[in-house]
Amino acid sequence: MDYLNSIDTALFLFLNGLHNAFFDPVMYWLSHKLIWIPMYLLIVFLMIRRYKMRGILMLLFVGLLITLCDQTASGLLKNMVQRLRPSHEPALAGLIHLSKAGTGGLYGFVSSHAANVFGLATFLYFVLDRQFKPLKYWLFIWAFLVSYSRIYNGVHYPGDVLVGGLIGAGLGFLMAKAYFIADVYLQKKEQQKS
């Protein structure tokens, strides 16, 4: 475990050390949740316009998914593992570039940002049809950029982000399967009423 931790720390210091004056505000805003509200609203609009009531069902599953991702990462794993964020690690004091967002909470394993964004990207990848192909690919690029920004900003090790992303993708896949089961069930109920 010490070997993996040393690799994770070395990779973190390398990636975090690539900062510059141009990317500092870019990476700060990539990590900021409020900047993405217009994108979320656009996705909601497109889903409801395209899928009508099925779009509302998708959005209910998105809400469940984000809650599950966030609680798994922040509510369960961070408190269970209690791995200090690099920004709180005394051995790394003076070696880290922090954004103006600050040091974050005490524990960092796993990244809830990574879990949430990869969960959403994966879920929408499976439930949206071909009409949304460009959006599907954009969401994975977005998830990668948001996740990388957590390392750049000094609040997560690469391992925190990688495991968070894998958890989010796994939960997104499972929630997509659950959505399809619910959708088929509701369609059958609708047919029985007709």
Q: Give the model confidence (pLDDT) of 121-144 as tens digits.
A: 999 999 999 999 999 999 999 999
| Cα–Cα distance, 194 to 83 (Å, whole number) | 56
Is the pLDDT at 194 greater than 90? The verdict is no
Phi, psi of 84 (to 5 degrees): -60, 140
Half-sphere exposure of 23 (CA within 13 A, CB side): 17
Domain ranges within the chain, ordered by starting residue: 33-181
In which residue are the tokens 């779009």 written? 55
Helix (H, G, I), strand (E, B) or coil at 163: helix
Residue 23: CB atoms within 10 A of its CB come to 14
Is the pLDDT at 81 greater than 80? The verdict is yes
104 with 85: CB under 8 angstroms? yes
Mean per-residue pLDDT for 4-16?
Answer: 92
Helix (H, G, I), strand (E, B) or coil at 84: strand
| Cα–Cα distance, 141 to 181 (Å, whole number) | 28
Is it true that the peptide bond before 155 is cis, omega within 30 degrees of 0?
Answer: no
Angle (CA) 40-104-171 rounded to 5° is: 45
pLDDT band at 174 (very low <50, low <70, confident <90, very high): very high
Helix (H, G, I), strand (E, B) or coil at 107: strand
DSSP letter at 83? Answer: P
Q: Which of 16-25, 145-154, 182-191 has the highest mean pLDDT?
A: 145-154
Using alpha carbons, select from 192, 112, 156 the residue that is nearest to residue 11: 156
166 with 112: CB under 8 angstroms? no
